[in-house]
Amino acid sequence: MKFQISMILVGLLYVMPTFAYDTALAERLGQFYAPFAGKSCAKSLKMIKPEDFVKAVKAENKPLIIDVRTEQESAIYTISLADSLTIPMNQVFTKDILDKLPTDRKIIVTCTGGHRATAVAMGLRQIGFKDIFVLKGGFAALAKYLTPKTAY
């Protein structure tokens, strides 16, 4: 009896790793990240520096700014530009939101530090949006850059 229990436990040790992750999801993620390879990877992220962000929002053809932080975060501070939206990351890829996003103008995605914005921007590019940028360093970098002189 002890031997049989031992064999079952040993068998489980060999079988359990096969259930350690979702293989179908891993395959989909592998396909998703496939375009991000080699030297083009960093360029494909399309990061925009805070100074270029300020220039863009001052330009005649203003970009759409999307803040992907949570409602609680954006309740404390947010971008109050006319061409800005606050859409939490978990809601961006709903049909209603995607139908509202322009396909013919620049979109800049931002969050606190740039990480969530990068994930959202990558997803938007993968589904066909072309002119998607990420505010490099997010609100944290923008706050460091902005002064009364640079904001005007």
Question: Can you read off the two tokens belonging to residue 18?
Answer: 């096969």
The model's pLDDT over 112-126, given as tens digits with 9 standing for 90+, comes to 999 999 999 999 998
Q: Which residue has the higher pLDDT, 43 or 3?
A: 3
The domains located in the chain, with CATH, are 2-33 (no CATH), 40-151 (3.40.250.10)
Question: Can you read off the two tokens belonging to residue 89?
Answer: 């990351």
Residue 151: strand, helix, or coil: helix
Is the pTM higher than 0.85? The answer reads no
Going by C-alpha positions, the residue among 92, 90, 109 that lies closest to residue 100 is 92
Going by C-alpha positions, the residue among 109, 105, 102 that lies closest to residue 61 is 105
Contacts of 145 (CB under 8 A, 6+ apart): 50, 51, 54
